[in-house]
Structures are given as structure tokens and as C-alpha cells.
Chain A
Amino acid sequence: MRIAIEAVGVLAPGLPDWDGAQAVLAGRQPFAAAPLAPCVPISLPAAERRRSSPTVRLAIAAAEQALHRTALSPQDMALVFSSPEAAGVITHQLCEVLAGSREVSPTQFHNSVHNAPSGYYSIAMNAKLCATSVCRGPWSFAAGLLDAAVQALCDDVPVLYVCYDSPLPAPLSDVMPVVEATAIALVIAPKPAAATLASWEFAVAPAEGDVAWPGWMPAAWQANASARGFEALATLAGGAGASAAMPLSPELNVQVARC
């Protein structure tokens, strides 16, 4: 099965955008850690920006990067958002309140749903097509990518795919050690067009041993499901390999090969 990649967005400490990330992913430039500036998605009205969580802002800011690089309209795209833990800091705050006063903030409660990022995004962009929020624990990148590719092909529709990890506060960080934010956004189309970056032949295949992490990547990011996408992005940056594998389960990988 083949899909076209129209545009990419990247947000991580030291990788502030796709232009900056390509040289690192292609091995032309060493990775240099740098703090990630707070995400300020311009599509969210100020009131919504204030009400939303850091995870929402991260996901939408990554999506906006990709949207700037495509002529396709956000209103014409289906949405697949994927994260191992989208509520994150909100879960922590809710659990603290529930262990004490139990006076839950209504805004915090509706922000706690896993699809809050895609919900806020759809409101900001007036995106009214199908929106799906995926979770597959540490395998969330491959699962969401697979879902996005399948939807693009089945419904003949461009799909915005965003995968993201937001840092968790203590004590949740003891059991889910995400310490830095990473996010990847892809605009996927069912067929290539003039502005297409590249096409991916993708397949679900049996896993043969563990998939290695990129050598340049900070070890701490191995807790981030979205960081599994960097090997796939390297195929677009003209990097070391023209193909990449991402774990979907202990038994399966999603493979992409640039073509």
C-alpha cells in the first residue's frame, strides 16, 4: 500500500521545526539539545489557548507547522491524533483534587479526555470531517500512522496525523517517565501530487527483534512514543536509510519505505 507525504511538522527540544530537523535526521549535522520554546498555536483563540492543556498546545502547534507547508485545506482533512497519554498533567491535577476536596474544575474535566487535542484543533480549524484519537501505549506512533494511512486510502481523503508526548509531573513521571515534549505532524494524501515530498510504501510485518532507536537521539526520548517517528522522518530527509520500522506490538512492526 502506498501513501503520499505532503508536509511535515516537528517539535522537540533541539528540533524546533522540519527545516531544522532535516539536517540532523539526515546525519549532516549533529543533534544539539536546546530548550523547546512554549508552544503558542496561532489558530487557537486566546481564550481557548488559556483553557487548553500543554498537550493540546503542543499537538496543535506541530499540526500548524505541517499546515503551513501544504496547499491542502485543513477543512478537507480527516484527523488522526495519537498519544500514549494525552491527558498527562491534567490526570495528575484531577487525581490530586479527587484525593482531596473532590471539587473538580469543569474545564479540567473536559480537557482530560484523550481527544481534547483533536477536539480543540477541529474547533480552531473548523475541521468537520472524521476525527480519531488513538492510543497504543509505547506503540502509539505506528498505530496512529497505520490508522491515518488506512483512512486516507479507504476514504480517498487527505489525513492530518499528529503524534505527541507531553512531560508528566511527579509522581506520574515515576511510572511514565516522559521528561521532554516531542511531537510529529504529517499531512498524508492517498495519491501523490506536484507538491508531494515523497511516497511511502507501507506494510505491517512480523517484528524480528527490537527496533533500534536513532543513534543521535537523546536516551530520555525513548520514553516518548512519538519519537518512534523520527526514523520514518529520516527517510524523507534523505537520511541513512530509505526505509524504517516502528513497533506496533511485541509481534508486529509498521514498515515504511520511501519510493
Chain B
Amino acid sequence: MCGWVHKGGIQSTTAMFMQPLAVLSYTITSAAGLGKANTARTLREERSGLTPNDLTWAPLDCWIGHVGAAEAVALPEALGAFDCRNNRLALLALEQDGFRDAVAAARGRLGAGRIAVFLGTSTSGILSTELAYQSRDPATGSLPAAFRYDTVHNLDATTEFVRRVLGLTGPAMTISTACSSSAKVFCLAERFIRLGLADAAVVGGVDSLCHTTLYGFSALQLVAPDICRPFDTARRGLTIGEAAGFALLERGAGALQLMGYGETSDAHHMSTPPPDGDGARRAMLDALERARLSAREIDYINLHGTATPANDRAEGRAVHGIFGTGTPCSSTKGVTGHTLGAAGITEAAIALLSLEQGFQPGSPTTREVDPETRCAFTPHGQARKLARVMSNSFGFGGNNCALVFGKDA
């Protein structure tokens, strides 16, 4: 703080109850697999989707979570201006699990204008701009004539692309709060639906491999030289992955539900959490309060768990402060990689899969749990009936979001 004092008045308490929202349909595509069935199989078999980095255009000594199938995807001709890696990955994911059909059915029932579209991303199609900068005119410095910014690189490009593919005309926008982006879209949807600005919402996120994040996180010395190992004593950083996922939310009860959420800021540092994880703690407490649940009613926590030394220690301590050692938790970043702006939807989808299938995911790359992280980190997955799960997502700028999902009893 610098010159701005608290002016008194009523300290705001933002947390309040919410009516659950039905999750009608969801899908996830990452290095762990295309669609829900493949993702669930990878999780159950305790495999990792991560591979040693073989990207010829980014020869860094690290691992990656690569969705190679996205590269061959062709966009519809009418939307050709949107062609880029990020939008190809978005379309690949939309085609899985009958998600487009579920949206079409909702559109028929509710009307295209009553369904909102809120997506998260951190870098959108910036890879196209990076490549355009490699092909600048040596004399004038100008970018190639074919390069498009608005439909490719702008952070809203994928949201507008998805909105058009799905034929929706409700309110739409992109949330970009780094690695919490595609968790916060669930909160936005709840608010818009509560106020009657929409009856349903397509939420999700898409982020794809690019030079900016691969070299940027390397510059911050946050990328592991080997595969990432969340909450491991010997963890050395994250593995960057790419992913796209979507969920269709609607007012009312459902077999799967969004039950609560919390959003906070650390107000501490741009890229490091406070050591006690205070912002994370407040986000989790807000999420519990909105869901009208006590800590012991949460059956499993899918942690943010990036596998950087500072992040895991802060999150583990924040979780321990609320849940003690009574609630099993794990990070699935060793399976999917850290999918950044898509991490929120990736792990929301894994949380929903765990509820639906009665399976608590583990962390197959973790060898020895760091006792300094204190919480009940559980490296091995197990079949287990789950009713309420939490998913954490934290990003640069000290931006925190916790979501609570539940299964109709």
C-alpha cells in the first residue's frame, strides 16, 4: 500500500449462497486424450499424457502436453479467417462427446439469444503472430499480408469463433486472468443466469502451445527439465500443455451441478503467491460458503498443483489450513500438463468425471510427497464414491478461483 488508506465504512463480504446450476454436458481434450472417455482411461490407468518436447519450432529441454491431432483440423470455409492453432484445438474439442449436439438441443429449446458464451484463454492464437514476426518484410518490417490479428491473435478470437460455430447470439466475452481464466467463466455464467441475462451458458477455455509461454515460463525458471512432479519433494517446475474444454450450464438442478465458487486476489506479487496461500484460502472458503458446505463435506480436491516449489507449498498450506489432512487431494498436472488459460476447464472437467465415474484421480508422476505441503496429497488414484469435489485454479496477478461441483444425491 502506498498512500491509499482504508476509508472506513462497511467491510464487504462478497460470499453468499447460490442456487446450483446444472452441468448438462461437458467435454475435455488435452494431452491426456480426446474427449471424456480417453481422459478417464488415462487417469484410471495412472498414465501421463506428457511427452519429451519434440517441437521443432521450440527446441527447449523440457516436456510438453501436446495435442497433435489439433494440427490437422480444418475450419469451416466460412470461418477461414479464424484459422490458427488455438481455434483448430477449439473445434477438435467441440466435436467430442456430442457437445455440439447438446448445445444445439439447448439452442432449440431456449433460443440462440438466451445462451451466453464465456471462454478463458491466456494467449489465444498468439503463435500466429509469433510466426508472422519471423516472416516480416526485411525492408519495411511489415507483417505478411495474409496475417490477421482480430480473428486469430486477439484474446476474444476463440470466443467469437466458438460462438459462431455453435450459432449462439447471447452475451459473450473472454476472461483472461492467466491460469484462472477458464475457472472464472463458471462464476460469470452463474451471475448472468442469476440476473436473467441468459438461461444457459457455454463456458470453457482454450490455450495452445506457443513460443511466448514456453520461453516465458523458462525465463522465469518455472519449467521443469524433466516431467512435472506436483507436490513431490524433488519438484522442479511445471510442464506446459495445451487443452480445450467446454461445459454447458443451465439454470436449475441436474445430475451434475456447479454448487459454489470463490474468486479472490492475493495483492502480493505478480507471479508468486504469498507463502501462506492466503488468497487461495479465501477463495476456497468463499466457494464453500456459496455452496453451503463445510470443509468435511468435500470428498476430493483437484489442486492447482503446478509443481513449482513455491506454488505447491503455498497451496498445500492453504488447503491444510481449511481441510487439515482429512480431505484427499491431488494434482492432475502430471497427466495433462499445465494448460494455463485452459487449466480451469481441464480440471473442472476432471472433477466432473471423478463425480460421474466414482474415481478419485491420483498424480502418477509424484514419487515422494513433500511433507512441507502438509495437506493430504494422494498420489495414487482409487475407485471411490464422490459427491462433492473442489477444483482450484490460480494465476499470475495473484488471481485465484475455487469451484465446487456436486452430484445429485
Interaction A to B: yes
**Residues of A near any B CB (own CB < 8 A):** 1, 42-45, 67, 71-79, 84-86, 91, 94-96, 98-99, 102-106, 109-116, 118-120, 122-138, 140, 143-144, 146-147, 150-151, 153-158, 170-172, 174-176, 204, 206, 248-249, 251-252
Return B131 CB to nearest CB of chain A, in Å: 9
Size of interface on B: residues with Cβ below 8 Å to A: 78
Residues of A within 8 A of B14 (CB): 78, 129-130, 155-157
Kindly specify which of B66-74, B149-157, B297-305 makes contact with the partner chain. B149-157
- Are A136 and B174 CB-contacts (below 8 A) given A113-B397, A116-B270, A125-B267? yes
19 residue pairs A–B, Cβ–Cβ below 8 Å: A43-B2, A95-B133, A95-B212, A98-B130, A99-B133, A106-B219, A113-B176, A129-B12, A131-B265, A132-B175, A135-B156, A136-B156, A137-B160, A153-B195, A154-B194, A154-B195, A172-B129, A175-B148, A175-B150
In the bound complex, CA of A204 to CA of B172 (Å): 12
Which of A111, A120, A130, A134 lies in contact with B263, CB distance below 8 A? A130
Contacts of B398 in A (CB 8 A): 119, 122-123
Give every chain B residue within 8 A of A119 (Cβ-Cβ).
265, 270, 396-399
B397 contact set on A, CB distance < 8 A: 113, 115-116, 118-120, 122, 131, 133
B143 partner residues in chain A, CB cutoff 8 A: 171-172, 174-175
Interface stretch, picked from B45-53, B98-106, B134-142, B233-241, is B134-142
* A156 nearest CB across to chain B (Å): 8
A1 and B156 in contact (CB under 8 A), knowing A43-B2, A98-B130, A125-B267? no
Docked complex Cα distance between A113 and B270 (Å)? 10
A130 pairs with B171, CB closer than 8 A:
no
Given the complex of chains A and B, what is the CA–CA distance between A75 and B160 in angstroms? 34
User: Nearest-CB distance from A179 to chain B (Å)?
Assistant: 15
Closest chain B CB from A150 CB (angstroms)? 5
Do A249 and B169 touch (CB < 8 A)? Answer: yes
User: Are A175 and B147 CB-contacts (below 8 A) given A91-B126, A113-B396?
Assistant: yes
Are the C-beta atoms of A123 and B4 separated by less than 8 Å?
no
Residue of A84, A127, A170 near B265 (CB, 8 A) is A127
Which of chain A's residues have a CB closer than 8 A to the CB of B160? 137
Majority secondary structure, B binding face: loop
CA distance A138 to B129 in the complex (A): 19
Q: Looking at the complex, which of B24-32, B184-192, B309-317 is the stretch in contact with chain A?
A: B184-192
Nearest neighbor of A79 in chain B, beta-carbon distance? B265
**Which residues does chain A contribute within 8 Å of B16, judged by CB atoms?**
155-156
Which residues of the other chain, A, contact B132 by a CB distance below 8 angstroms? 95
- Among B253-296, those with CB < 8 Å from A are 263-271, 279, 282
* Chain B neighbourhood of A140, CB < 8 A: 156
Q: How far is the CB of B390 from chain A (nearest CB, A)?
A: 17
Interface string of B213-240 (1 = CB under 8 A from A): 0011111110000000000000000000
- Contact at B216–A170, with CB atoms within 8 Å? no
For B269, the chain A residues whose CB sits under 8 A away are 123
Contacts of B136 in A (CB 8 A): 99, 171
Is the CB of B56 closer than 8 A to any CB of chain A? no
Classify the secondary structure of A's interface with B: mixed
Asked whether, in the complex, the Cβ of A114 is within 8 Å of the Cβ of B122, the reply is yes
A115 contacts B12, C-beta separation under 8 Å:
no
Q: Within the assembled complex, what's the spacing in Å between the Cα atoms of A151 and B212?
A: 32
A197–B85 alpha-carbon span in the complex (Å): 47
Kindly state the separation between the CA atoms of A206 and B398 in the bound complex, as whole angstroms. Answer: 37
Q: How far is the CB of A232 from chain B (nearest CB, A)?
A: 17
Chain A to chain B: the 10 pairs with minimum beta-carbon distance, closest first: A119-B397, A109-B216, A114-B176, A175-B149, A130-B263, A135-B155, A95-B133, A143-B173, A99-B133, A137-B156
Q: Are A45 and B195 in contact (CB under 8 A)?
A: no
Residues of B within 8 A of A (CB): 1-4, 6-12, 14, 16, 113, 122, 126, 129-130, 132-134, 136, 141-143, 147-150, 154-157, 159-160, 163, 169, 171-178, 184, 187-188, 191-192, 194-195, 197, 211-212, 215-221, 263-271, 279, 282, 395-399
The complex places the Cα of A135 from the Cα of B142 at a distance, in Å, of 26
For the complex, what is the distance from the CA of A120 to the CA of B172, rounded to whole Å?
26
Contact of B267 with A126 in the complex, beta carbons under 8 Å: yes
Give Cα distance in the complex from A96 to B357, angstroms. 47
Known: A73-B6, A115-B399. A128 touches B177 (CB 8 A): no
Give the residues in chain A near B268, CB-CB below 8 Å.
123
Residue among B147, B171, B197, B263 making CB contact with A132, cutoff 8 Å: B263
Partner of A174, one of B142, B173, B396: B142
Instruction: Quote the shortest CB–CB distance from A174 to chain B (angstroms).
Output: 6
Q: Which residues of the other chain, B, contact A124 by a CB distance below 8 angstroms?
A: 1-2, 4
A171 touches B130 (CB 8 A): no
Q: Which B residues lie within 8 Å of A85 (CB)?
A: 154-155
Decide: A123 near B133, CB < 8 A? Known: A150-B192, A171-B141: no
> What's the least CB distance linking A59 to chain B, in Å?
12
- Identify which of A1, A103, A134 contacts B174 (C-beta below 8 A): A134
With A and B bound together, what is the CA distance between A253 and B149 in angstroms?
23
Decide: A71 and B177 in contact? CB cutoff 8 A. no
**Measured CA separation A43–B2 after assembly (Å):** 5
A154 closest partner in B (C-beta): B191
B396 near A115: Cβ-Cβ < 8 Å: yes
Q: How far is the CB of A49 from chain B (nearest CB, A)?
A: 10
| CB-CB under 8 A for A96 and B133, given A119-B270, A137-B154 | yes
CB-contact partner of A151 in B7, B191, B197, B211, under 8 A: B191
Across-interface contacts of B142 in A (CB, < 8 A): 170-171, 174
Looking across the interface, which residue of chain A has its beta carbon closest to that of B179?
Answer: A113
B279→A128 contact, CB < 8 A: yes
Residues of chain B within 8 A (CB-CB) of A131 are: 177, 263, 265, 397, 399
When distances are taken between beta carbons in the complex, the residues of chain A under 8 Å from B6 are 73, 75
Docked-complex contact B169 and A252, CB < 8 angstroms:
yes
A146 neighbours in B (Cβ, 8 Å): 171, 173, 197
Q: What is the bound-complex CA distance between A75 and B5, given in angstroms? A: 9
Q: Using Cβ atoms and an 8 Å threshold, which residues of chain A touch B178?
A: 113-115
